[in-house]
Amino acid sequence: MSRLWQARFFTTVNQLRDLPGTQVPEIAFAGRSNAGKSTAINILTNQKGLAFASKTPGRTQHINYFSIGGAHVGQHRKDAVRVDEIEALLVDLPGYGYAEVSGTAKLHWQKLLGDYVQRRDQLAALILIMDSRRPFTDLDVQMLEWFAPTGKPIHCILTKADKLNRNESTNALREARAVLDSYVDEDGNGFPFTVQLFSALKRIGIEEADAKILELAGLNSEEEEEEEEEEAGDDIGNEESAAPSADDDNPSA
């Protein structure tokens, strides 16, 4: 079971001053309102309604936090999360890009999103959700350019990959990597940007995204921890078997 399955609603805020005072890594999810962000969060956390997908375009206007760790019963229960035991936070940022949203709301979201991704010290990485058929819209590029100067990782998830054939999928990945590789720092070094294909419908790329998010959050799945322990045990065993003995000094042994 993935550690992401532990995710539970923690808090929601509409102003930067109300952001939680926790010091654990935050992994933020950003994307256009119709790119499948809520669906991606829900399938990665194995929960149907954790992230709210509104039928009204642009309705979700808050930053929603989901905790990993700090809860000692099933995720459906309403008991309080133990804040001091939270290990990481998933952050669902407001979707962007709908023309129906009022100008005042757009300005508020722009400032909220821009200030959060540029100034939040706890923000460890950004997961940028884009429709694989229409990636890197002007607003996606704006998000990239807001976040790139921080030098922190961005992992791009290209959703709805089931709607692409094999050649289209290959081209989408290649073109996305080319866009990401075009971003370099003052010394000409590339930023830690990665990309993958994803489909909630066909369950494409779920394990890859899960592993990447856990890595960015500094968390390991239980399976990875067991594998690391087994590898460590094997290394010790190999070292012991390779240790010199009295017989090792005997050429005829």
Position 237 scores a pLDDT of 53
Low-confidence ranges of the chain (pLDDT < 70): 53-60, 73-77, 97-103, 105-106, 221-253
Single-letter amino acid, residue 102: S
pLDDT at residue number 52:
78
The pLDDT score that the predictor gives to residue 70 is 85
What is the per-residue pLDDT for 75?
Answer: 59
Residue recorded with tokens 């979707």:
95
Distance CA 130, CA 120 (A): 23
The CA distances from residue 133 to 74, 158, 162, 164, 197, in Å, are 37, 8, 10, 8, 11
Domains of the chain, earliest start first = 4-223 (3.40.50.300)
186 contacts: CB under 8 Å, gap ≥ 6: none
pTM attached to this predicted model: 0.83
* Bridge partners (DSSP) listed for residue 9: 66
- Please, are residues 42 and 64 in contact by the beta-carbon 8 Å criterion? no
